[in-house]
Chain A
């Protein structure tokens, strides 16, 4: 049974296409107001799962419920959806497209137009409100698409690859926009490949591969379960013969690599501290600088997904 704080409850969901088991026995729960990130390689089944959450397709088995919503269902006006396949009416003016989408989400046309104007202003596109969508750059079209998905202030925003195709500045802009949604009380479920952005944004991540769950939890939980421990990065200008071998033999050390000339990167086992090791390093190395790094989501993703990847992955949407 979902707890009272569950916004979305997915239980034992399966989705099969002709020869592909795209989503296999997925269960997850999303809390209200959190940012929940779906991760996974291409074809992992993320978009298929999101389409089922949106209601475009139905699960073959299992159930999807929105416990806090009336009747356990999410209505069109309560949902905002940014699909992976982006598309807008290229031959129509921005303001009309946004007003239309807002109307279909249940807003009165005048209210939808007001919201559209506010979003265009926020995205610095208000002077082009009457321009046709096709005249905008790809990045600006993506901004309009995002506005179309959320201008009606949905209770849940489902964003499929919101950062793909964006330059770094626009990625930062979208990062801010998604954070604003959460601040306004919207629950955000997104899929993305940009690990560094997800790490900054998501309250919880859920990694899929071949339609199945391979990793889930908050960042601290994931680090505790799958992390490699901290990394010790040393810049040295001299080292005694055999010093690196001595370090590699230390029980806290998982590996020692040289990412650049004069730099040593020492990966520690989970839960190990750098104190003893640092003293050992100082004996054989002339250390110029020292810093430590937490394992990133990218590191853990590569470790988990890479370890599980077969030679050929089945196709899934």
Chain B
């Protein structure tokens, strides 16, 4: 039996162990059901009538504009001439609240207990105040729109000839990166279960009489990464289906899909980096899992969170993609999967940078994969005991 056939056989087995099509389908149906439920509840909430309240207004004459309408609020302006009368009415529950307007135009709302309608007062009065000010300035509607419009800017990159933003390419690249991270984090759980579970069930010794430790770990990485990819794609497809199908059901408009990406080369590069990064992190996690005897009690289970660190860097560097530290992290293999796409989308990078990152990432994936095999081979018979960090590093150095 060739090594590749061994790896393929193990990968196929692991894939089928962890991909349960029936459960996946049930999960999608549950997700659609919950989406429908939330959609229906959301629609009910949006149409819910606000409980009407009567609010006494004292000093309305001090406003330069009429009392604005506020959803659910009825202004009481007759008969309550001062603050004392308003407070008395509030105490007697004749009104639900009182709005005291000072001569300078500011206001104070009095209520007996916390009430949701108070949050709607300030926006309504601000809007009415702005409208009154604009009318006093005697400006046209066009001038008013110009005052309120944001600064319009269009970026044209002369070196590449590209005009405007990368638009849909940016969106699709972000989706790809997001899916890659989802594959990582969903896959780690099954990777840990697949490796430590097999050690706990005492299957490994029998397995190693049939295949080499490297074949075993390679098959695990391939099969479980495949299972994680399928699970993530399945979930993403379900979410997309829900987003496209459910809004029209509840009377909302269709969600527009972005146009196809224009920069396919960029997407291909990001897809390559994501794939290599996934392979590297799966290999890293496989090596970690190979040193763990019982994931329920091992402190090393916290290592699952290590791949989250590069993602955090990526978020921080989104608006500082030109910084030198961003360039270094986009090349460094442990962070390049998350940081390089950010730089590619946000700024111009020298041509060699992505390729150096790809080469280093591929090298790191290879080294971690070999280390996982060596660590597993050395630690497989250590039942009930985890190797020390020094032992683990010594085994890893053999890779």
Taking beta carbons and an 8 Å cutoff, which residues of A are in contact with B? 51, 54-57, 76-77, 79, 81-83, 85-92, 100-101, 103-106, 148-149, 317
A-B contact pairs, 25 of them (CB 8 A): A51-B205, A56-B209, A56-B381, A76-B209, A77-B1, A81-B206, A81-B209, A82-B206, A83-B205, A83-B206, A85-B202, A87-B198, A87-B201, A87-B203, A87-B204, A89-B17, A89-B203, A91-B17, A92-B17, A100-B9, A103-B9, A104-B207, A104-B211, A106-B1, A149-B206
CB neighbors of A among B244-263 (8 A):
none
A56, A77, A88, A103: the one contacting B208 at CB < 8 Å is A56
Q: Which of B13, B17, B209, B380 has the most CB of A within 10 A?
A: B209
Which B residue sits closest to A99, measured CB to CB?
B13
Which B residue sits closest to A104, measured CB to CB?
B210
Q: Report yes or no: B209 in contact with A317, Cβ–Cβ below 8 A.
A: no
B residues near A100, Cβ cutoff 8 Å: 9, 13
A103 to B5, CA, bound (A): 10
Interface residue B144 (Cβ < 8 Å from any Cβ of A): no
Q: Report yes or no: A101 in contact with B210, Cβ–Cβ below 8 A.
A: yes
B residues near A90, Cβ cutoff 8 Å: 201
Q: Report yes or no: B206 in contact with A148, Cβ–Cβ below 8 A.
A: yes
Q: Report yes or no: B210 in contact with A105, Cβ–Cβ below 8 A.
A: yes
Instruction: Report the minimal beta-carbon distance from B314 to chain A, rounded to whole angstroms.
Output: 37
Report the 10 A-B pairs with minimum CB-CB distance, sorted nearest first: A87-B202, A81-B209, A85-B202, A87-B203, A83-B205, A104-B210, A106-B1, A87-B201, A54-B209, A76-B210
Which A residue sits closest to B2, measured CB to CB?
A106
Instruction: Report the minimal beta-carbon distance from A253 to chain B, rounded to whole angstroms.
Output: 49
Which B residue sits closest to A158, measured CB to CB?
B209
Interface residue B83 (Cβ < 8 Å from any Cβ of A): no
A104 to B216, CA, bound (A): 11
A77 to B211, CA, bound (A): 10
Which A residue sits closest to B6, measured CB to CB?
A104
A81, A83, A105, A148: the one contacting B202 at CB < 8 Å is A83
A76 to B13, CA, bound (A): 18
Instruction: Report the minimal beta-carbon distance from B201 to chain A, rounded to whole angstroms.
Output: 4
A264 to B105, CA, bound (A): 120
CB neighbors of A among B317-352 (8 A):
none
B6, B9, B201, B209: the one contacting A89 at CB < 8 Å is B201
Q: Report yes or no: A83 in contact with B209, Cβ–Cβ below 8 A.
A: yes
Taking beta carbons and an 8 Å cutoff, which residues of B are in contact with A? 1, 6, 9-10, 13, 17, 198, 201-211, 380-381, 383
Which A residue sits closest to B203, measured CB to CB?
A87
Q: Report yes or no: A88 in contact with B201, Cβ–Cβ below 8 A.
A: yes
A residues near B383, Cβ cutoff 8 Å: 85
Q: Report yes or no: A104 in contact with B10, Cβ–Cβ below 8 A.
A: yes
B residues near A57, Cβ cutoff 8 Å: 381
Q: Report yes or no: B209 in contact with A79, Cβ–Cβ below 8 A.
A: yes
A56 to B17, CA, bound (A): 25
Q: Report yes or no: B205 in contact with A85, Cβ–Cβ below 8 A.
A: yes
Instruction: Report the minimal beta-carbon distance from A266 to chain B, rounded to whole angstroms.
Output: 47
A90 to B17, CA, bound (A): 11
A residues near B208, Cβ cutoff 8 Å: 56
B residues near A148, Cβ cutoff 8 Å: 206
Q: Report yes or no: B201 in contact with A104, Cβ–Cβ below 8 A.
A: no
Which A residue sits closest to B17, measured CB to CB?
A92
Which A residue sits closest to B205, measured CB to CB?
A83
A residues near B211, Cβ cutoff 8 Å: 76, 104
Q: Report yes or no: A87 in contact with B209, Cβ–Cβ below 8 A.
A: no
A88 to B13, CA, bound (A): 13
A residues near B381, Cβ cutoff 8 Å: 51, 56-57, 317
Instruction: Report the minimal beta-carbon distance from B190 to chain A, rounded to whole angstroms.
Output: 12
A56, A77, A101, A103: the one contacting B205 at CB < 8 Å is A56
Q: Report yes or no: B9 in contact with A55, Cβ–Cβ below 8 A.
A: no
New contact pairs (12) apart from A77-B1, A88-B201, CB-CB < 8 Å = A56-B209, A76-B209, A76-B211, A79-B209, A81-B209, A83-B202, A85-B202, A101-B206, A101-B210, A104-B6, A105-B210, A317-B381
Which B residue sits closest to A87, measured CB to CB?
B202
Instruction: Report the minimal beta-carbon distance from B399 to chain A, rounded to whole angstroms.
Output: 18
Instruction: Report the minimal beta-carbon distance from A192 to chain B, rounded to whole angstroms.
Output: 18
A residues near B201, Cβ cutoff 8 Å: 87-90
A residues near B380, Cβ cutoff 8 Å: 56
Which B residue sits closest to A56, measured CB to CB?
B208
Which A residue sits closest to B16, measured CB to CB?
A96
A residues near B10, Cβ cutoff 8 Å: 104
Q: Report yes or no: A88 in contact with B203, Cβ–Cβ below 8 A.
A: yes
A residues near B205, Cβ cutoff 8 Å: 51, 56, 83, 85, 87
B residues near A55, Cβ cutoff 8 Å: 209
Which B residue sits closest to A86, measured CB to CB?
B202
Q: Which of A56, A86, A317 has the most CB of B within 10 A?
A: A56
Instruction: Report the minimal beta-carbon distance from A166 to chain B, rounded to whole angstroms.
Output: 17
Instruction: Report the minimal beta-carbon distance from A81 to chain B, rounded to whole angstroms.
Output: 4
Instruction: Report the minimal beta-carbon distance from B200 to chain A, rounded to whole angstroms.
Output: 8
A177 to B383, CA, bound (A): 30
B residues near A54, Cβ cutoff 8 Å: 209
A residues near B206, Cβ cutoff 8 Å: 81-83, 87, 101, 148-149
Which A residue sits closest to B219, measured CB to CB?
A104
A residues near B9, Cβ cutoff 8 Å: 100, 103-104
A101 to B209, CA, bound (A): 11
Instruction: Report the minimal beta-carbon distance from A57 to chain B, rounded to whole angstroms.
Output: 7
A103 to B198, CA, bound (A): 18
A79 to B208, CA, bound (A): 12
Instruction: Report the minimal beta-carbon distance from B205 to chain A, rounded to whole angstroms.
Output: 4
A83 to B203, CA, bound (A): 9
Which B residue sits closest to A81, measured CB to CB?
B209
Which A residue sits closest to B202, measured CB to CB?
A87
A134 to B186, CA, bound (A): 26
